[in-house]
A and B are shown apart, each in its own frame.
Chain A
Amino acid sequence: MERAEAGALMATVSQVHPGAINPPQTRRLTEPRLVRALLMCVAFAFLAVGLVIPLVAVFVEALANGVQAYVDAVREPDALAALRLTAIAALFAVPANLVFGVCAGWTIAKFTFPGKQLLTTLIDLPFAVSPVISGLVFVLLFGRQGAFGPWLLEHDVRIIFAVPGIVLATVFVSFPFIAREIIPVMEAMGTQEEEAARVLGASGLQTFFRVTLPNIKWGLLYGVILCTARAIGEFGAVSVVSGHIRGLTNTLPLHVEILYNEYNFQAAFAVASLLTCIALVTLVLKTIAERRKSG
């Protein structure tokens, strides 16, 4: 019902596009028809070559040897192990960054303190760092020649070339997504509603779950979607810390690389097509959350 109304509203809005009211002006306020057609052709051609053809190619290559080969490649034990590890990494990274995102949003939006701008910049830092460097810093910390290397070796704790390293690298690269979505939403919200709730006797947790959360939920969801996509798809950082041990420290993107480098192209694309499907689902969810967030 609500959606139908929104749709109808949107249709009306697009009808009252300024040009539509005054048809003679429309013609002068846009490019000549030929130019418009030309620009649209250029845009479509660019997107077709740049996005659509690669997208189609993934699925064509994945099914090159028929459906049975596809199913076999996806159900192979190493592929399943990779899928499991990717899920583990995402299940650590997303909740950790979710909690941090809410804390950071709260700190930045509801308090004033010196160095606030600096804090916001620091949160964005992982975006500016090459994925390879993101992996490298953890090798420098926990690797054999790293700062904690000898101590870890002594206590027989493995972080690099093991699951904890992969989780850490994933947390690092997906770190800013949720925080940077929530900060502007919380800033726009202000503190009045929460103050009112507190004055009326609500506890801190009650205020958060009943007042704050409903206000930020779409922004939060949007951040979670982006964070999950990055956590699942990360390649460079994870590649540095994983050691590429089949069935043990391979995530799905790393498994794709191994299969491809073994010239097992069809299997590589079969696994890649799974990741592509996840990416497409991400785009759909993101579009929905975006519309809710702004509407």
Chain B
Amino acid sequence: MVCTLVYLSIIVLIPLGMLPFRTASMGWDAFWETVLDPRVVASYRLTLTTSFMAACVNAIFGLIVAWVLVRYDFVGRRLIDALVDLPFALPTAVAGITLTTLYAPNGWLGKPLSNYGFMVAFTPSGITIALIFIGLPFVIRTLQPVIEDLDLELEEAATSLGASRWHVIRRVILPYLYPAWLTGFTLAFARAIGEYGSVVFISGNMPMRTEVSPLLIITKLEQFDYTGATAVAVVMLSMSFALLLVINALQGWSGRRLAH
């Protein structure tokens, strides 16, 4: 027990404690000036909007993929199921350079898209693509066990009472999946906000336009502006903790719903 606490303190708590400590030393005025600087605010806006869009895309497709993987039988289902975790296992830098090469104006996917006038790499859409990739497993993995646990008798009952399939899905199945679905969405969103490795290559890193908050922290560090970097980090950390609370609340909700 003692060694658990000591190790936890040395590796996690003391280092993280440096953030409020360092921020406290800079004073309120300097703190607000740093975190409300237009370039910094632009980076929050970009980080939040691209993360939100990526989480939405993952929520929609994740639901379909999870449903197909659990309910339908087809050749190679196990293989595909194992492959879903690839974004967790693949180093983010590898994902970053690969997606940039694919979506660059002369890449496999970027070329056809640019013919239709869509520029992906080095724009906010490119950032969204990278965030979709790294958040892809969350919704699928949180939904799968819940879909597996769905009581077929409920569906049978609804069907035998004359409900159409669409009605059963909308009124019986989906309400049951909501908590897990939202949890998966929030996990993907939270992960995307802090993401750096896969984004830094595809974003182009133009201040005010395609510069995400984690990158801004690095930029400030490279200019030896430790305090500025810490202030931005504290704001980002607060966002992450707020999302963590949401996730915990969602899990409590889902626990209560599944308990009855």
Contact = CB atoms under 8 A, between A and B. Distances in A.
B101 A130 contact: no
Nearest to A58: B98
A113 B87 CA distance: 37
Contacts of A254: 93
Question: Which secondary structure characterizes the binding site on chain B?
Answer: helix
Interface residues of A, number: 85
Contact of B109 (A49, A260, A276): A49
Given A39-B64, A256-B94, A137 B19 contact: yes
Question: Which residue among B98, B195, B218 has the maximum number of chain A CB atoms within 10 Å of its CB?
Answer: B98
Interface size class on chain B is 35 or more
Contact of A287 (B12, B82, B196): B82
Contacts of A286: 82, 85, 89
24 contacts: A18-B152, A25-B159, A39-B64, A43-B64, A51-B87, A53-B108, A54-B99, A57-B101, A103-B7, A122-B8, A125-B16, A130-B195, A132-B194, A138-B15, A140-B15, A140-B22, A147-B21, A235-B93, A256-B93, A275-B94, A280-B89, A283-B86, A286-B82, A287-B78
B75 to A, nearest CB: 12
Given A132-B217, A236-B196, A283-B89, A57 B16 contact: no
Given A229-B89, A233-B93, 8 more contacts: A52-B83, A54-B95, A54-B99, A57-B98, A129-B16, A132-B194, A233-B92, A286-B85
A57 B196 contact: no
Contacts, number: 242
A25 B85 contact: no
B156 A283 contact: no
B116 interface: no
Nearest to A271: B94
A268 interface: yes
Contact of A50 (B82, B108, B136): B136
Contacts of A119: 4, 8
A285 to B, nearest CB: 10
B91 A234 contact: yes
Question: Which secondary structure characterizes the binding site on chain A?
Answer: helix
Given A31-B165, A43-B68, A279 B89 contact: yes
Contacts of A282: 89
Interface of A: 14, 18, 25, 28-32, 36, 39-40, 42-43, 46-47, 49-55, 57-58, 61, 96, 100, 103-104, 107, 111, 113, 119, 122-123, 125-126, 128-133, 136-141, 143, 145-147, 168, 171-172, 175, 226, 229, 232-236, 239-240, 252-254, 256-257, 260, 265, 268-269, 272, 275-276, 279-280, 282-284, 286-287
